[in-house]
Structure 1
Amino acid sequence: MTLHDDAVRVLKDYADQEELRQLYLDHLTARPDGMWKSCEVGHLTASALVIDPERERVLLTLHRKLGMWLQMGGHCEPGDASVALAALREAGEESGIRGLTLLRAGEPVRLDRHPIPGPCRWHLDVQYAALAPAGAVAEISEESLELRWFGYDEVADVADESVVRLMERARAAL
């Protein structure tokens, strides 16, 4: 199964956000390259909100290019076997935490379509929630200016509405 096929399967099985889910599926039907950064009209991305082992805080990154507090995530790569594993890979790379596990049996928590600067117009983000193992230590990557754990009640003060909605859906999945 290709990554494109996996994305279609994941989206067909996703039972929420019907209008946005259908937009993603239509995009993939019309664009065989719709998984890749080279698809300038837009492409799927994968992200994961990292939750601490005590399930009281989330780890956000101050994104180097965007200057915003965000969940870990990014572009799918040809070596990714699934969208879920792409999200897990990105979360591990950007947080430095090994042993993250996806919640909800590896199913997405929500979808978020957002405009981006540059030649590409849209990211069609498939968002997951990941639990950090006990004793996890975050290590900053070159993509981040800073990494910080935030209590649930602090997220709205630093992040945009899409991160807040992701956090709310992730908490519901705990």
Structure 2
Amino acid sequence: MITQNTTTLYDFNTKSQANDWLVVDDVVMGGQSDGNFYIDENGHGVFEGTISLENNGGFSSIKHECQTIEVKGYSKIRLHVKGDGNTYQVRIKNKRDNYYSYTAYFQSDTNWGTIEIPFEALLPVFRGRDLDLPNFQGETIEEVGILIGNKKAQSFKLLIDKIELVK
């Protein structure tokens, strides 16, 4: 859907289940964090759970692989979210097979709000380490995700209404 220089990348209000999103926790490397993702009765994606630092853990994430989306002509990604005051990362892959993601941090608020992240602010990162590669060039997107990993044990809850591209 195109509206006033935006294109909707994902609208949770049009879905009844979240089966095209995958939760990836630190359990893949022995950790004990526990994230969950579902669509609530109001049509919002809900990413919630607990972060544990046990066994060198400390993160939970969700990701959505999509068909290749041409994003030339767009300059930012926009998230409509309501959070818990925690810091999260938005993560993009221009090629789903890349070992790294382009990431940027955002601070959530306990009220509904809009987070806009310019493409050039998305830095290449692998396992929490910055890479010596160019920032996101804004050509294609094949995966979008959100991660929480603030180096502390904590509960979290982030509601997502929709994700858009902005010209």
Question: What's the TM-score, normalizing by structure 2?
Answer: 0.30
Identify, as 1 or 2, the structure richer in strand.
2
Question: What's the TM-score, normalizing by structure 1?
Answer: 0.29
